[in-house]
Structure 1
Amino acid sequence: MKSSGLNFRHLHYFWVVAKEGSVTRAAERLGLAVQTVSAQLSLLEQAVGKSLLAPQGRRLVLTEAGRLALGYADQIFLLGEQMQEALAAADDEPTLRLAVGISDSLPKLISSRLLEAALRLPQRVKLVCFEDKFESLLGDLTMHKLDVVLTDRPAPSGAALRVFSHLLGESDIALFGSKELAKRYRAKFPASLSGAPLLLPTRNNVIRGRIDHWFEAHELRPDVVGEFDDNALLNTFGRNGLGLFPAPSALAADVEEQFGAVLIGELDQVHEQFYAVSNERKIKHPAVEAILSAIHGRVFTPVKRK
Structure 2
Amino acid sequence: MRHLNFHHLRLFWTIAHEGGLTRAAERLNLSQSALSVQLAKLEESLGHALFERQGKRLVLTEAGRIALDYADTVFAAGAELLDTLGGRPASRRRVLRVGALPTLSRNFQMQFLRPLAGRADTELVLRSGSLRELLIDLEAHMLDVVLANAAVRRDAHSDLHSHLLAEQAVSLVGRPAASAAPLRFPEDLAGTPVVLPSLASEIRAGFDRILELAGIRPVIVAEVDDMAMLRLIARETDALTLVPAIVVRDELEAGLLVERYRVRDLTERFFAVVQSRRFPNSLVAEVLEAFDRTPFRGAP
After TM superposition, the score normalised by the length of structure 1 is 0.64
Aligned to 2:23: 7
- Cα gap change, 1:71/1:132 in structure 2, threshold over 3 Å: closer, same or farther? farther
State whether structure 2 residue 110 is matched by structure 1 residue 117.
no
Secondary structure at 2:221 match in 1: strand
Range with greater deviation from structure 2 (275-284 or 147-156): 275-284
Matches within 5 A, 1:74-223: 79=68, 83=72, 86-87=76-77, 92-119=90-117, 124-158=121-155, 160-180=157-177, 183-184=179-180, 187-190=182-185, 191-223=187-219
Letter in 1 for 2:108: I
- Asked whether the equivalents of residues 104 and 134 of structure 1 are also in contact (C-alpha less than 8 Å), the reply is no
Residue by residue over 1:171-218, the C-alpha shift from the partner in whole angstroms, topping out at 9 and shown as x without a partner, is: 1211122224x854x523324322222111221222211121222344
Aligned to 2:239: 243
Matches within 5 A, 1:216-295: 216-241=212-237, 243-250=239-246, 253-256=249-252, 260-280=256-276, 285-295=281-291
- Cα gap change, 1:262/1:188 in structure 2, threshold over 3 Å: closer, same or farther? closer
Range with greater deviation from structure 2 (194-203 or 259-268): 259-268
Secondary structure at 1:226 match in 2: strand
Letter in 2 for 1:192: D
For the residues of structure 2 that align with 1:6 and 1:249, how far apart are their CA atoms?
A: 52
Query: RMSD value over aligned CA atoms?
Result: 3.8
For the residues of structure 1 that align with 2:254 and 2:279, how far apart are their CA atoms?
A: 32
For the residues of structure 2 that align with 1:269 and 1:108, how far apart are their CA atoms?
A: 23
- Cα gap change, 1:82/1:272 in structure 2, threshold over 3 Å: closer, same or farther? farther
- Report which of the two structures shows the higher radius of gyration computed on alpha carbons: 2
- Asked whether the equivalents of residues 238 and 259 of structure 1 are also in contact (C-alpha less than 8 Å), the reply is no
Matches within 5 A, 1:51-62: none
- Asked whether the equivalents of residues 193 and 221 of structure 2 are also in contact (C-alpha less than 8 Å), the reply is yes
Deviation at 1:252? 5.3
Deviation at 1:96? 2.2
Unaligned runs of 5+ in 1: 12-65, 302-306
- Asked whether the equivalents of residues 174 and 247 of structure 1 are also in contact (C-alpha less than 8 Å), the reply is yes
- Cα gap change, 1:109/1:10 in structure 2, threshold over 3 Å: closer, same or farther? farther
Letter in 2 for 1:197: P
- Cα gap change, 1:250/1:100 in structure 2, threshold over 3 Å: closer, same or farther? same
Secondary structure at 2:146 match in 1: strand
For the residues of structure 2 that align with 1:270 and 1:222, how far apart are their CA atoms?
A: 18
Secondary structure at 1:275 match in 2: strand
> How many corresponding residue pairs?
238
Residue by residue over 1:10-53, the C-alpha shift from the partner in whole angstroms, topping out at 9 and shown as x without a partner, is: 89xxxxxxxxxxxxxxxxxxxxxxxxxxxxxxxxxxxxxxxxxx
Range with greater deviation from structure 2 (147-156 or 241-250): 241-250
- Cα gap change, 1:160/1:280 in structure 2, threshold over 3 Å: closer, same or farther? same
Residue by residue over 1:55-106, the C-alpha shift from the partner in whole angstroms, topping out at 9 and shown as x without a partner, is: xxxxxxxxxxx9964967xx99xx5998279445676444221110001231
- Asked whether the equivalents of residues 189 and 264 of structure 1 are also in contact (C-alpha less than 8 Å), the reply is no
Deviation at 1:162? 2.1
For the residues of structure 2 that align with 1:116 and 1:240, how far apart are their CA atoms?
A: 29
Letter in 2 for 1:154: A
For the residues of structure 2 that align with 1:298 and 1:173, how far apart are their CA atoms?
A: 18
Secondary structure at 1:164 match in 2: strand
Residue by residue over 1:156-183, the C-alpha shift from the partner in whole angstroms, topping out at 9 and shown as x without a partner, is: 2227442111111211211122224x85
Secondary structure at 2:231 match in 1: helix
- Asked whether the equivalents of residues 170 and 267 of structure 2 are also in contact (C-alpha less than 8 Å), the reply is yes
Letter in 2 for 1:287: L
- Cα gap change, 1:206/1:9 in structure 2, threshold over 3 Å: closer, same or farther? farther
- Cα gap change, 1:142/1:236 in structure 2, threshold over 3 Å: closer, same or farther? same
Deviation at 1:263? 1.4
Unaligned runs of 5+ in 2: 1-20, 28-53, 85-89
